[in-house]
Structure 1
Amino acid sequence: MTACKKNTLDREASFIRQEKSPRWFFGKIRKPFLETLKKTDIQECRRSWLCCGREDEEPVEASPTGRCSLGDVANAKPGELEFISLEPQPRRRKTDGAPRWRGIAFLLAACLFCFSGSCIMWTTDAFHDFVANQMVLDANKGSFAWWVTPPINPWFRVYIWNYTNWDEYTRDRSIKIKLKEVGPFTYREVIRREAIEFDEKGITLSYREVKTYEFMPEMSATEDLNATVVVPNIPYFGAKAKVAGWGQGLFGTAGSVILNLSSRAFKLNPLISVTANGFIWGYDDNLFTLSKLDPTNKVPMDQVGLLTMKTIPDDLTILTGAADIDKLSYFVRFNHKSSLGAWSEPACNSFEGSDGSMFPPRKVRAKDTLYAYKPEACRLIKFIFQRKSFAQGVRAHRYILDQNTFMSPRVNPDNLCFCNQTDLQECPLDGIFDTSPCAHGAPMYISYPHFYLTDPAALEPFEGMHPDAKEHDMFADIHPRLGMTLSGRSRLQFNLRVVKETPHLDVGMVLPVAWFAQDLPSYDAGFKTIIIIASYALDFLEFVLLYVLPVAAVLTALVLARRLLLLARRSPYAAAPTSAENAVEHADERPEDGEQELAACA
């Protein structure tokens, strides 16, 4: 192939390339453009290359560099220039496809990320599990400091039942016993957790819990604190119950004789007069002092009082949640015991529940049944979900105490193992629960205050009790993500049951002693702000991951599809360059061949 013919083919290929690329100028250049080009700065012309001449006319003499100079263009006749191709401006798209593919790869990665994240959020609990695991009791986590030093101190109120007409009742059994509620006597319960030790694997945590009570006069009936009240004689009924447990044999008969002699010697009565403060924090009792001589008596206190046992430190071991987050803060050992040992079946002796300040977050979120161990109740307490609520400025789940908790086995068969009687008719009345196995033998029974949700027969002998669901019910508002108890209240009433013949009292009669109200006040401003920010931040993050992430996945998929379609349209022209395109692209690399081709055409 001659050089002239090759040059002709190259120019035809160049025309094809110009028509495909809109950034090239093509066609005959007319005088107006030539006039403009004459005035063009030499720096601009120096950066351009010109193909000059036509096959049927004399070619314009090429410059030594193989390009037409600015003078050649200015002096050329209208037909002598076939076309002029200027170098692209700075905005010209690069011919290299690497940046385009990098953008496509980025879009593909973003689409896959958003789609995968959406699938994880909608099909798994990975997000909720991650949040729940932040509550694991670990010394390196922020939540551990809140557990060691609780940011809130519960209010503990004591109400004492004063038997105002006891003397009159002993003379006339036809009248009812008049009860008067004395109190409240309010205390701030301060909890300290000391001697904290983790096991080697961080699965369990052992510590000593110390409770102190600070009197709050501004919330108390201070004028009644030193007032004299008539209340049931706890050691007296405890001794009666112990003798009754010995039966009718030799020990039972001997015990009855000793008790009668002691009653006459110490002038013991079923009810005694004592100050309210002494009844709460302890008073001396001759019969109680005498009972301490018994080597089998393991009562750890020296005085009789309602709250004396609560000030004794407890040695506890709980689960940290590291092995199973669904058992976070569950008791493993309570005062070195792995079970209560008070009931006939292992299920009832278990205290595998929390202390009520924290619950497994995943169970709270799923609205599952929760369990808390209450030493005063001598059993696990069952809480069931009631409704969603609002506490401490954030959303919460409200749990209430199962109303069948204190029911007799006649109503609630699940409580069968909590009745140590062979005959169900001998079990306590509905709503009254026997806690004597955990009260060192004293016939102590618990119920709701004012005998709320209790068999009406328990109320019949008394006057002055007014059950109220709004005041005497129990509930807990729990954070659905963190498992923390945000607010709530606990209500329990202590009672004594007459288990042996007693002057002026019938066997089986239940005597109210006092009732306790425990409430969680509002958090301080700093900690409350932290809880609010954390709660709403988690809600916002969940909303983004659930709803914004799928939208982002769809949008990135659409953009990616558009880019791929555009690339598919351009791919036939950029995939395999023809020889003519190579001739145009590499024209600058062969300046010497230009003179030879022009000479051959001549």
Structure 2
Amino acid sequence: MGCFSIKCGLLAGSVFGAVIAILGGILIPVGDMIIERTVKKEAVIEPGTTAYDNWAASEIAIYRQFWFFDVKNPQQVVQEGAFPEVQEKGPYTYKTRYLPKANVTFNPNNTASFVLPLGAIFEPSMSVGPEEDTVTSLNLAVAGAYSLLPPASHILLDMVINSTNSSLFQHRTVKELLWGYHDPILKDTIGLFSPYNGTTDGPYNVFTGKDDISKVSVIDRWRGETKLSFWNDTYCDMINGTDGSSFAPFVDKDVPLYFFSSDICRSVSASYEKTMNLKGIEVYRYSLLPSTLASPVDNPDNKCFCRNYETTKNCTLAGALDISSCSDGRPIFISLPHFLQGSEYLREVVLGLHPDEEHHKTFLDVEPITGFTLNFAKRIQVNMMYGPSFFHILCPLCNQTATLDDKTADMFKRELLSRIDMLEIVQQVLLIAGVIIFCVCLIAFFCVRRKSKANLG
């Protein structure tokens, strides 16, 4: 009787283990459905969701770091036509995104409109020196005038320059070059980012994802338009993707991410590079491909970005994007720092350039479940042309970076990832425990059964 009870108990244990294992197996797809439903709900941009809290506020500080190329031989450049010899100086760091989105309005077509307030606060602890450090740099007004005016008028221009004690190169403070100074030629305030403080970028209209989560954060309109007007081409004037701060949840590493940057007046794509660990959170790193700024010879899609056949050597020059059409006609060219991925010619006419993939590329670190960008470095170089086909680096490296701090990382892991991890742990524990109980009880049952048969024999 006792042996029979043991057998029954072991059989019951096997059944119990099998039930637990089956329950654990069932929970895997069911749990995945729960996770997917929860994430999609929290990814919608509307009050009360995790996405809205991250989207509307400014919890993650964004910094812009500036490096300048200090020209060491300005007299030789002007008098002898020598190539400029430059020395990198920086970083000078500013907090540039610390204000929440403004004028947020939710529209009937499942879009939200807003503007991004712009401001800059100098961060001495993250800089090599004060804003008052001086740099020998190209004179914005003089270089712009030489490039924009026909050669026949250069004699008159020289007279104006001499009368105002101006020259092709000037000594200016970091603060003046970035945020503005009074120019004696233009009789106006001029600077790389002047005006900046107190201005806004936008307005933007983005999809909330309420009716289609795959469209969440995708830009519907910028400045009231569904396309750009800078390039006079259907392809180049497209506004694709988000603003880069977030993407649709459940990111597929085989599919490029598209985003629009008003800094470079165009949309770009980034491709998966590798999986990384960021403060205990798994992220996918996406980087710009060399084809982004390739010449039309290598990437025909870039044909419409070629604006000037003379300065681009009949559109064979790679690595420099002419944005004069969206910078009030100023001869500004955007590139990666040190002309990374650019034509060798660009590095031959300026001495002191050292492109480095690790330090000079643009990348995004995206959390694949939520689609949130948790870390990024948007690195661009601002170049100004003077003369018919000669580039001079004005602001060599504008590095905009943002990464989540420890407090935000802990909140992110606690509020979202920990729940997902807990559900996965429960699934695995049930499945493993069930299998173990089932196997142990079944083996024990056959052992007892064999022993009882032996005793009877």
1:414 aligns with 2:320: no
**Amino acid in the other structure paired with 1:145:** D
The structural deviation recorded for 1:110 is 10
Larger relative CO (CA 8 A, sep 6+): 1 or 2? Answer: 2
Q: 1:196 aligns with which of 92, 104, 109?
A: 104
Whether the 8 Å CA contact 1:205–1:320 is kept in 2: the answer is yes
Whether the 8 Å CA contact 2:323–2:331 is kept in 1: the answer is yes
Across the two proteins, how many residue pairs are aligned to each other? 418
1:227 aligns with 2:108: no
Deviations 1:2-25 (A, max 9, x none): xxxxxxxxxxxxxxxxxxxxxxxx
Q: 1:271 aligns with which of 160, 169, 176?
A: 169
Distance in 2 separating the partners of 1:368 and 1:539: 25
SS where residue 238 of structure 1 aligns?
helix
What's the counterpart of residue 307 of structure 1?
193
What's the counterpart of residue 394 of structure 1?
281
Distance in 2 separating the partners of 1:158 and 1:183: 6
**Amino acid in the other structure paired with 2:141:** P
Distance in 2 separating the partners of 1:288 and 1:459: 31
Deviations 1:166-207 (A, max 9, x none): 11233333x432112222111122132112110125x11111
What's the counterpart of residue 69 of structure 2?
161
What's the counterpart of residue 135 of structure 1?
43
**Amino acid in the other structure paired with 2:121:** E
Whether the 8 Å CA contact 2:21–2:432 is kept in 1: the answer is no
More strand by share: 2
Taking only aligned residues, the RMSD between alpha carbons, in angstroms, comes to 3.4
The structural deviation recorded for 1:152 is 1.0
Give TM-score scaled by structure 2 length: 0.81
- C-alpha change, 1:116 and 1:316, in structure 2 (3 Å) is same
What's the counterpart of residue 241 of structure 2?
353
The structural deviation recorded for 1:230 is 2.1
SS where residue 176 of structure 1 aligns?
coil
What's the counterpart of residue 389 of structure 2?
508
**Amino acid in the other structure paired with 2:59:** P
Structure 1: gaps spanning 5 or more residues: 1-108, 245-251, 290-301, 557-602
Distance in 1 separating the partners of 2:255 and 2:429: 26
What's the counterpart of residue 83 of structure 1?
none
SS where residue 277 of structure 1 aligns?
helix
What's the counterpart of residue 183 of structure 2?
285
Q: 1:531 aligns with which of 412, 416, 421?
A: 412
- C-alpha change, 1:546 and 1:373, in structure 2 (3 Å) is farther
Structure 2: gaps spanning 5 or more residues: 1-18, 439-457
In the TM superposition, 1:314-393 aligns within 5 A as 314=201, 315-362=203-250, 364-393=251-280
SS where residue 361 of structure 1 aligns?
coil
Whether the 8 Å CA contact 2:256–2:272 is kept in 1: the answer is yes
Distance in 1 separating the partners of 2:323 and 2:350: 22
SS where residue 373 of structure 1 aligns?
strand
What's the counterpart of residue 215 of structure 1?
122
The structural deviation recorded for 1:288 is 3.4
Whether the 8 Å CA contact 1:348–1:379 is kept in 2: the answer is yes
**Over alpha carbons, which structure has the higher Rg?**
1
- C-alpha change, 1:206 and 1:522, in structure 2 (3 Å) is closer
SS where residue 100 of structure 2 aligns?
strand
SS where residue 341 of structure 1 aligns?
coil
Whether the 8 Å CA contact 2:239–2:260 is kept in 1: the answer is yes
Distance in 1 separating the partners of 2:181 and 2:326: 21
The structural deviation recorded for 1:262 is 4.0
1:474 aligns with 2:355: no
Deviations 1:74-129 (A, max 9, x none): xxxxxxxxxxxxxxxxxxxxxxxxxxxxxxxxxxx99998887656678xx77435
- C-alpha change, 1:119 and 1:478, in structure 2 (3 Å) is closer
Deviations 1:487-513 (A, max 9, x none): 121211000123xxx4xxxx2111111
Q: 1:449 aligns with which of 311, 322, 337?
A: 337
Distance in 2 separating the partners of 1:422 and 1:429: 10
Give TM-score scaled by structure 1 length: 0.63
Whether the 8 Å CA contact 2:20–2:431 is kept in 1: the answer is no
SS where residue 481 of structure 1 aligns?
coil
SS where residue 437 of structure 1 aligns?
helix
SS where residue 343 of structure 1 aligns?
coil
Deviations 1:391-414 (A, max 9, x none): 132111111112221111111112
The structural deviation recorded for 1:544 is 4.9
**Amino acid in the other structure paired with 1:305:** G
**Amino acid in the other structure paired with 2:127:** S
Whether the 8 Å CA contact 2:236–2:305 is kept in 1: the answer is yes
Whether the 8 Å CA contact 1:117–1:549 is kept in 2: the answer is no
The structural deviation recorded for 1:271 is 2.5
SS where residue 400 of structure 1 aligns?
strand
SS where residue 298 of structure 2 aligns?
coil
**Amino acid in the other structure paired with 2:294:** M
Whether the 8 Å CA contact 1:155–1:521 is kept in 2: the answer is no
SS where residue 157 of structure 1 aligns?
strand
What's the counterpart of residue 206 of structure 1?
113
The structural deviation recorded for 1:539 is 3.5
% identical aligned pairs: 25
Deviations 1:454-506 (A, max 9, x none): 211111122222222221122111111111111121211000123xxx4xxxx
1:492 aligns with 2:380: yes
In the TM superposition, 1:107-118 aligns within 5 A as none
